[in-house]
Amino acid sequence: MRILRLGFALLLLSAAGLCAAPARAGLFTAVPAAAPGSVGGTAGAARTKLKHLIFIVQESRSFDHFFGTFPGADGIPTNPPCQIDPQHPSACDTPYPDHKAGNMGGPSTNAYQVQDVDGGKMDGFVESAEQAESGRCGSHCKVDVMGFHDGTDLPNYWAYASAYTLFDHFYESVEAWSLPAHLALFSGWSASCTQPAYQASQPNVDDCASSFDDQTWSPAGDGAAPTPYLWTDITYLLHQHAVSWNAYLDGGLGPPIGPPDTEVQGIWIPLGGFETVVDDGQYPNAIGSTALDFRNQALAGTLPQVSWVIPNYLDSDQPQASIKTSQSYVTSLVNAVMKGPDWDSSAILIVWDNMGGFYDHEPPPFALDSEGPGLRVGSILISPYAKAGFIDHRIATTDSYLKLIEDVFLDGERISQSGRPDPRPDYRDQAKRLSDLLDAFDFSAPPRPALVLSTHPMTLLEDDAASAARGRAVGTRRR
């Protein structure tokens, strides 16, 4: 096993910057989803070699905000459009490097994202942030949605992207905030049901309809809303096929939304609110394990076949949280897998759930349906079979994650074939315009050694505890 420590990591980043082409803006927008990679993976090979799919789900950062200057990626344009700025109409707000460890970000609900995109002009980000924060936090709220971070701030994230595969046209499944994004992550749909299971003796899934403003759930027994989600999620198929799965909550389950900082908000782990999960006796799988359990099981080689790791606020990359802390947390999870006996049969996918209000220059490429996709976010594939130093320019969303799970562990069976009634308008795992993530693997080569990184890399991040605290007070409930 190769151990890459601090100096080596920075050397790798420097080499990547010197040897690779610079970030290229807008060159890949027209690449079709079906464009093949140089060495395509097959479902058969994946089923033979991949025994563990691990999804590390972080929060609220756009692609350009974290990877807009990554060498070779479709990054920030040389001449980006000036942003609409009602508070400073004579100013021209454009992207700038921001080395603050804690940011403010902006709103990410559907109406604000539509305003950000502005019919494809991508010039409404500052306007949205100013409107969302107006009257809420006074003069200390600096609108920073045009700021971006680079490899000096994010050495480990960039090292993973350099050594493995970075997706630079990965879009939010749903053009909305965190709860719809996480519902789509687990089920391929964001909906609200007029008569959830906790309100009716015979709940009817046909009462569910697409929604950007979904119901929140609370644990069974607290008298609130234990099972509001009646449609089919991916764990129903996993249970039917006896495929093991688990969600790992960093610090355990907290309240539906907001503080405390050290537990997982319920809106980030809606699995516990699915009727299928409760009916299948899988509720403990959804809420009963922690990130410490994940690390211990990864080191022992006892992880299930499918894992989701969900952060608490402090480790989440949520704009007001320190990305220094979040990067260390993610690195500790990846290191545990790499140091364990199952590295050679694992694929880790890191994703940021929505854009967090931060600027991105790419409008959504097309409409899959009325819900999205939304704006671009980062996604990285880490695996001994991931194409090395590869930037995948094809279009994908978290719906592509569901298809990957189905292809690797369910013999290609889709949610639409589950046999459960489901009124959704479409099944995103069948979308022909989304890429096949198996093409980002090269199963013809022997597995590559692990790349274990320092959990405390050197960065140029500037800690600002006062502004971070102000941001938490204002931002943890922002939608």
Cα 353 off chain centre by? 3
Q: Domains plus CATH for the chain? A: 2-82+89-105+138-475 (3.40.720.10)
Which of these, 446, 425, 3, 442, lies nearest to 174 by C-alpha position?
A: 425
Q: Which residues pair with 377 in a beta bridge?
A: 62
H helix or E strand, kind and range, residue 380: strand 379-382
Q: Which residues pair with 310 in a beta bridge?
A: 249
Write down the pLDDT at residue 10.
42
Residue 33: how many other CB atoms lie within 10 Å: 17
Per-residue pLDDT of the chain (479 residues; tens, 9 = 90+): 444 444 444 434 433 333 345 565 544 444 444 444 434 457 889 899 999 999 999 999 999 999 999 999 999 999 998 999 998 888 889 999 999 999 999 999 999 999 999 999 999 999 999 998 875 555 556 799 999 999 999 999 999 999 999 999 999 999 999 999 999 999 999 999 988 887 777 789 999 999 998 889 988 666 678 899 999 999 999 999 999 999 999 999 999 988 889 999 999 999 999 999 999 999 999 999 999 999 999 999 999 999 999 999 999 999 999 999 999 999 999 999 999 999 999 999 999 999 999 999 999 999 999 999 999 999 999 999 999 999 999 999 999 999 999 999 999 999 999 999 999 999 999 999 999 999 999 999 899 999 999 999 999 999 875 444 444 443 333 34
Computed from CA positions of residues 194, 197, 203, 208, in that sequence, does the dihedral angle turn out positive or negative?
Answer: positive
Work out the burial of residue 461: count CB atoms within 10 Å of its CB; fewer than 13 is exposed, 13-18 middle, 19 or more buried.
buried
Which residues make Cβ contacts (< 8 Å) with residue 13, sequence separation at least 6? 151, 155, 158, 159, 162
Provide the angle, in degrees to the nearest 10, between the axes of the packed helices 110-117 and 125-133. 140
The whole-angstrom separation of Cα 186 and Cα 70 is: 29
Which residues make Cβ contacts (< 8 Å) with residue 7, sequence separation at least 6? none
- Sole residue written with tokens 């990184």: 453
Write down the pLDDT at residue 31.
44
Q: Is the distance from CB of 293 to CB of 285 less than 8 angstroms?
A: no
Residue 457 Cα distances to 4, 250, 337, angstroms: 11, 21, 19
For residue 206 the two structure tokens come to 């046909």
Which residues make Cβ contacts (< 8 Å) with residue 404, sequence separation at least 6? 53, 437, 438
Write down the pLDDT at residue 21.
52
Work out the burial of residue 136: count CB atoms within 10 Å of its CB; fewer than 13 is exposed, 13-18 middle, 19 or more buried.
exposed
Write down the pLDDT at residue 88.
86
Write down the pLDDT at residue 222.
63
pTM: 0.91
Q: Where are the alpha helices (DSSP H) in 36-95?
A: 43-49, 63-67
Residue 84: how many other CB atoms lie within 10 Å: 18
